[in-house]
Amino acid sequence: MKYTEEHEWLRLEGDVVTVGITQHASEQLGDLVFVELPSDGQEISKDQEIVVIESVKAASDILAPLDGVITAVNNLIVEEPSLVNSDPMGEGWFFKMKLKNPSDFDGLLDKEDYEKLTQ
C-alpha cells in the first residue's frame, strides 16, 4: 500500500490500483453526506479533480493520484457516504484504475513516510 500527500491510499493488485482516502483524512473531514465519483472507463491525469465529496464541515475535491483509466467505481459509497467514515481503508474505497505508467506507483509515500506527514 502507498499513500499521497493529499491523504489518499493506493493498493496495487496486478496492474490495477484501488484508491480511497486515509483514516486521517476521513477524521479531518467529518461525516460525509455526499460523494460524486468519476465514470467507469474515464481517462484521468495526475492531479485532475475526479471525486467530489461533501461533509458536514466542507466540500472537497479528491485529485487523481496518478495517470490512468478508471476501471471500477464504488457506487455503494454514493448510496451510503458514511462508509467512507466507518471503513475508509476498506469498504469505503472510491475507485479502481489501471495505471498508465505502473512504475509511478513506486514514487508514492510508504506507510512510514505518510505517518511522518500526519504527525
pTM across the whole model: 0.94
pLDDT tens track for 28-76: 999 999 999 999 999 999 999 999 999 998 899 999 999 999 999 999 9
What pLDDT, on a 0 to 100 scale, did the predictor assign at position 48? 97
Q: CA-CA distances (angstroms) from residue 22 to 2, 37, 40, 90, 105?
A: 11, 17, 22, 10, 17
Grid coordinates representing 2 are 502507498
CATH of domain 2-101: 2.40.50.100
Could you state, in order of their start, the residue ranges of all structural domains in the chain? Answer: 2-101
